Amino acid sequence: MIDERALAPAAMLPTAIEYSEMDDDRADGRSLLGGNLGVVKNISVKLQVKAGETTLSVGELLALREGQVLKLDGQVNAPLQILLEGEVVASGELMAMGEHFAVRIIDTVRRG
């Protein structure tokens, strides 16, 4: 059997690393953004509105045809979930704005 350490350069040999314990307390240093949110205002994020969902077998999925209706688990008068990058951040109600769907925000999720 070949000893792999004999083939590796000395700089590539694994070495133990000592880690310092970290506190859960916040650091006393300056904020990463320094209170300047202007640097992140032009970053695009994905916002989605979820009315409900359903589970289908592959057979049911393959049998779907135009004109069929899929029943979702969401109730007609229940608030819709508003998701930011996949995380629920608010709830709202479906509206129409001209020829487009719209959502009125009725509650936001408070994060601790």
Model pTM?
0.64
Which one-letter DSSP state was computed for residue 11?
G
Which one-letter DSSP state was computed for residue 79?
P
- Domain parsing of the chain, residue ranges: 40-112
Structure tokens at 48: 């989605």
Confidence check: pLDDT of 17 > 90: no
Confidence check: pLDDT of 58 > 90: yes
Fold of the domain built from segment(s) 40-112: Surface presentation of antigens (SPOA) (2.30.330)
Confidence check: pLDDT of 11 > 70: no
Specify whether the backbone of 38 is left (phi greater than 0), alpha (psi in -120 to 50) or beta.
alpha
Element (H, E) at 63: helix 58-63
Confidence check: pLDDT of 112 > 70: no
* Contact present, 70 and 53 (Cβ < 8 Å): no
User: Residue 41's beta-bridge partner residues?
Assistant: none
